[in-house]
């Protein structure tokens, strides 16, 4: 087996060669080991090699537990983009939010990293059969890579996994075993089956290839962050000191068992050891409220999480009731580094975040990934994440078929083609049918703001879910003219503007009986004095703070004022 790394036991410290199918420490029997590399040498040699390599997980091959990566097994794993969330950042008043878009992996979730490394290691070791238990995405990822590698795969899935995901697993030629019970029970059944038949079992967070696959996320986002913002500034006294890469301030990810963040934190730790970065980011580990054993334990300052027997969430992907030692390790590492937090959000908050990201950033994700974004919103609004901080949120997986309750009513309009008219005059028939799609007289809204980005954001929010006729004015004087001319049903008004400010606009409109009754929502970045608040009183319906309202809140206000 490969000599470029060794396995170190987390319990007795024993160091020795690693064999993929002997899963225990030879000295004490612990299943918890970590891979160690020659980081003293790699710290200097690897940065010289990286620029010449493709942007995928194998660019870090000296730091992965595979001797010689086989390009023929690859599906293009890793190298996913880091996307600046401009609109979300504007709404939250937090301009440096970046999305690590793991939807763009070969099977549309971050589990591809774990599967690619594990299957490569199994293939190298001549292993031809594998058992996995999963809440869906692990099985999909392993099935795809196993198919390429000619490895037979057995997938134990809880019956809660959506049928569409189950069928995808089967499509790859995997034998699906549906277990009626919880995810933790499915894991037990899988373990028993694997032991009986002496087949390799994927043991998730205790498996070196899994953790090593996940850690590549840390390396990638660090390289990407540095490309965007440059290396950290050098000290003028000693410009030879300093690190070549910039780490983010926060790293957020939704968790079930917690293997993802455990791997990512190992990546950051290695980079810190190699002096590539000067600190490890704070970790935001987000669970869904109906299954949040880690969050309970964290709040009670406990080292061991109490398992949840029956998870209560619609988000099956995140239904690990017993995180086992993963929680304990994650907590230890977070406390030793820069800290962070375990936080939970409701199913409802996750669905809303998922819908928001699709409408406002063009990113459609599965509810399990929405959990991380709901956590982001919660932490920013609670002041835990500060406005200037650089935040990376892992968008862990792509949309599964959208449940009806997420969209609400009226998301589609039907076009019925009149058969007779179509025969006589196809074009007129088509126009007649289409005229019904947009016959309503839409409510008219004036958006008044001198900042073009803010106007664009508000326009986007209004158009994302509803139909309005929109007008824009870029200063107070234009606004007064516009309102007199177009007579909107509602005005969304900024306060600080050149020429005539928002207060001036309100005065002018109040003094004219024709415009005095039009409802006004003030959206402002200004900290108002009590005198100013008094001035607004009675003249506006709603006051919203820029950088501190979400699209749904604005939409709800607009709808209620329009009646
Ligand atoms: C597996 C999964 C998670 C949870 O990851 P863990 O690291 O196993 O806790 C989150 N989101 C998606 C999309 C997943 O597939
Ligand atoms: Zn040991």
What pLDDT is stored for residue 324 in this prediction? 94
Q: What are the angstrom distances between the C-alpha of 176 and each of 54, 163, 420, 428, 436?
A: 35, 11, 50, 53, 47
Least Cα distance to 279 among 344, 232, 328 occurs for 232
* Ligand 2 mean position, distance from CA 5 (Å): 17
**Strand ranges for 367-419 from DSSP E:** 391-395
CA distance 60 to 386: 32
Query: Do 522 and 557 meet the contact criterion of CB atoms below 8 Å apart?
Result: no
Pocket of ligand 1 contains residue 369 by CB under 6 Å:
yes
Rg of the Cα atoms in the chain = 27
Look at residues 449, 353, 470 and name the one whose alpha carbon lies nearest to residue 97: 353
Residue 400 Cβ < 6 Å to ligand 1: no
Structure tokens at 266: 């190992």
Contact 173, 143 (CB under 8 A): yes
Take residue 503 and report the two structure tokens written for it: 């207060």
Query: Is residue 397 within 8 Å of 109, Cβ to Cβ?
Result: yes
**H helix intervals, 465-550:** 476-486, 502-510, 530-536
CB under 5 Å of ion ligand 2: residues: 9, 11-12, 14, 25, 27-28, 30
What's the sign of the alpha-carbon dihedral 270, 275, 276, 280?
A: positive
Q: Starting from the CA of residue 33, give the closest ligand.
A: 2
**Residue 421's pLDDT is what?**
66
Q: Which ligand is nearest to the CA of 372?
A: 1
The answer to whether residues 490 and 465 touch, using CB atoms and an 8 Å cutoff, is no
**Global pTM exceeds 0.85:** yes
Query: Residue 98's beta-bridge partner residues?
Result: 84, 392
CA atoms within 13 A on the CB side of 434: 7
Euclidean distance between CA atoms 270 and 536, whole angstroms: 55
Pocket test for ligand 1, best of 106, 110, 155, 320 (most atoms within 8 A of CB): 110
Q: In the prediction, which pLDDT does 434 show? A: 66
Q: Is 221 in the pocket of ligand 1 (CB under 6 A)?
A: no
Assess contact for 133 and 156: CB atoms under 8 A: yes
Is the beta carbon of 254 within 6 A of some atom in ligand 1?
Answer: yes
Distance, in Å, from the CA atom of 554 to the CA atom of 88, rounded to the nearest integer, reads 14
Distance 11 CA to ligand 2 centre (A): 5
Residue 326 CA to ligand 2 center (angstroms) comes to: 17
Please tell me if the CB atom of residue 366 comes closer than 6 angstroms to any atom of ligand 1. yes
- Locate tokens 């309503």: which residue? 440
- pLDDT tens track for 113-166: 999 999 999 999 999 999 999 889 999 999 999 999 999 999 999 888 888 888
Which residues fall within 8 angstroms of residue 108, CB to CB, at 6 or more apart? 397, 398
CA distance linking residue 245 with residue 390, whole number of Å: 14
10 Å CB burial of residue 67 (0-12, 13-18, 19+) is middle
| CB-neighbour burial class of residue 237 (10 A; exposed 0-12, middle 13-18, buried 19+) | exposed
Whether 350 is in the pocket of ligand 1, judged by its Cβ within 6 Å, is: no
Contact 362, 87 (CB under 8 A): no
CA angle 77, 65, 115 (to 5 degrees): 35
CA of 207 to the centre of ligand 1 (A): 16
Pocket of ligand 1 contains residue 397 by CB under 6 Å: yes
Distance, in Å, from the CA atom of 423 to the CA atom of 439, rounded to the nearest integer, reads 24
Give the distance (Å) from ligand 2 centre to CA of residue 7.
10
Going from the Cα of 103 to the center of ligand 1, the distance in angstroms, rounded, reads 12
Structure tokens at 365: 């994700």
Phi-psi sector, 108: left (phi>0), alpha (psi -120 to 50), beta: left
Which atom of ligand 1 lies closest to the CA of 111?
A: 15
In 515-529, which positions are buried (b, 16+ CB within 10 angstroms) versus exposed (e)? beebbbbbbbeeeee
Q: Which CATH number fits domain 82-97+215-231+243-405: 3.40.50.1100, 3.60.15.10, 3.40.228.10, 3.40.50.1820?
A: 3.40.50.1100
CB neighbours of residue 423 within 10 Å: 9
Residue 26 CA: which ligand is closest?
Answer: 2
Q: 108 in ligand 1 pocket by Cβ < 6 Å?
A: no
With a cut of 50, list the residues of the chain below it in pLDDT. Answer: 1-2
111-124 vs 208-229: helix crossing angle, rounded to 10: 130
The response to whether residue 257 sits with its C-beta less than 6 Å from ligand 1 reads yes
Number of H helices, E strands in the chain: 20, 18
The sign one gets for the Cα dihedral 121, 365, 547, 545 is negative
Return phi, psi of residue 449, to 5°: -165, 140
pLDDT digits over 456-501, tens only?
999 989 988 778 999 999 999 999 999 999 999 999 999 999 889 9
pLDDT of res. 235: 78
Listing from the earlier edge strand, what are the strands of the sheet with 391-395?
82-84, 97-101, 391-395, 250-254, 282-288, 340-345
By the 8 A CB rule, do 295 and 318 touch?
no
Q: How far apart are CA 219 and CA 263, in angstroms?
A: 11
Cα 304 to averaged position of ligand 2 atoms, centre (Å): 20
| Residue 284 β-bridge partners | 252, 341
- Position in ligand 1 atom list of the atom nearest CA 261: 7
Backbone angles phi, psi at 328, to 5 degrees: -60, -45
| Residue to substitute in 141, 144, 255 for testing ligand 1 pocket (most ligand atoms within 8 angstroms of CB) | 255
CATH number of 443-562: 3.40.50.2300
At residue 257, the 3 state secondary structure works out as coil
Residue nearest atom 13 in ligand 1 by C-alpha distance: 397
Question: From ligand 1's centre to the CA of 235, what distance in Å?
Answer: 40
> What is the number of the ligand closest to the CA of 8?
2
Q: Is the CB of 390 under 6 A from ligand 1?
A: no
Centre of ligand 2 to C-alpha 24, Å, is 8
Full DSSP string of 94-130: ---EEEEEGGGSTTSBTHHHHHHHHHHHHHHTT--EE
Burial 392-402 (b: 16+ CB within 10 A, else e): bbbbbbbbbeb
The rounded Å distance from CA 149 to ligand 2 centre is 32
- In the reported structure, the alpha carbon of residue 265 is separated from the centroid of ligand 2 by a whole-number distance in angstroms of 22
The beta strand positions in 171-325, using DSSP E, are: 175-179, 200-201, 250-254, 282-288
């Amino acid at each position: 087996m490969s000599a470029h790394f060794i396995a170190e036991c987390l319990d007795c410290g024993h160091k020795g060669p690693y064999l993929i199918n002997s899963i225990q420490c030879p000295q004490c029997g612990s299943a918890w080991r970590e891979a160690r590399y020659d980081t003293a040498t790699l710290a200097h040699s690897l940065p010289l090699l990286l620029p010449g390599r493709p942007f995928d997980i194998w660019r870090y091959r000296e730091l992965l537990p595979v001797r010689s990566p086989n390009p023929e097994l690859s599906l293009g794993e890793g190298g996913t983009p880091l996307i600046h969330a401009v609109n979300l950042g504007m709404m939250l008043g937090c301009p440096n939010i970046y999305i690590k878009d793991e939807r763009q992996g070969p099977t549309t979730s971050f589990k591809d990293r774990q599967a690619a490394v594990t299957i490569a290691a199994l293939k190298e070791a001549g292993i031809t059969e594998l058992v996995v238990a999963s809440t869906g995405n692990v099985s999909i990822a392993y099935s795809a890579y196993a198919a390429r590698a000619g490895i037979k795969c057995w997938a134990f899935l809880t019956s809660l996994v959506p049928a569409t995901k189950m069928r995808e697993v089967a499509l790859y030629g995997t034998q699906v075993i549906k277990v009626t019970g919880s995810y933790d029970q499915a894991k037990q059944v899988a373990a028993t089956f694997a032991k009986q038949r002496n087949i390799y079992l994927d043991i998730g967070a205790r498996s070196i290839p899994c953790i090593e696959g996940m850690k590549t996320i840390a390396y990638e986002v660090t390289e990407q962050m540095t490309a965007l913002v440059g290396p950290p500034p050098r000290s003028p006294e000693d410009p030879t000191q300093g690190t070549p890469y910039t780490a983010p301030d926060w790293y957020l990810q939704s968790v079930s068992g917690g293997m993802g963040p455990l791997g990512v934190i190992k990546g950051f730790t290695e980079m810190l050891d190699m002096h590539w970065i000067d600190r490890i980011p704070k970790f935001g580990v987000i669970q869904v409220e109906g299954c949040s054993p880690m969050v309970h334990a964290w709040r009670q300052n406990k080292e061991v999480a109490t398992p949840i027997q029956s998870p209560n969430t619609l988000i099956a992907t995140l239904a690990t009731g017993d995180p086992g030692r993963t929680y304990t390790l994650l907590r230890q590492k977070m406390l030793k580094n820069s800290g962070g937090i375990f936080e939970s959000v409701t199913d409802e908050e996750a669905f809303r975040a998922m819908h928001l990201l699709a409408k406002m950033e063009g990113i459609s994700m599965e509810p399990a990934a929405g959990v991380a974004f709901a956590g982001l919103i919660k932490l920013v609004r609670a002041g835990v994440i500060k406005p200037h901080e650089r935040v990376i949120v892992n968008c862990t997986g792509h949309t599964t078929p959208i449940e009806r309750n997420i969209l609400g009513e009226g998301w589609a309009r039907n076009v019925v083609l009149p058969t007779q008219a179509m025969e006589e005059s196809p074009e007129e028939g088509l126009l007649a049918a289409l005229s019904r799609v947009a016959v309503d007289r839409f409510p008219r809204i004036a958006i008044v703001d001198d900042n073009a980005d803010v106007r664009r954001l508000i326009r986007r929010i209004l158009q994302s879910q509803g139909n309005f006729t929109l007008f824009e004015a870029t200063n107070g004087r234009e606004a007064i003219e516009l309102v007199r001319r177009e007579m909107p049903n509602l005005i969304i008004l900024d306060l600080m503007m050149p020429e005539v400010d928002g207060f001036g606009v309100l005065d002018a409109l109040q003094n004219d009986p024709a415009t005095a009754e039009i409802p006004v929502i003030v959206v402002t970045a200004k900290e108002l004095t009590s005198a100013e608040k008094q001035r607004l009183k009675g003249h506006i319906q709603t006051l919203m703070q820029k950088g501190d309202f979400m699209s749904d809140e604005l939409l709800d206000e607009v709808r209620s004022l329009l009646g």
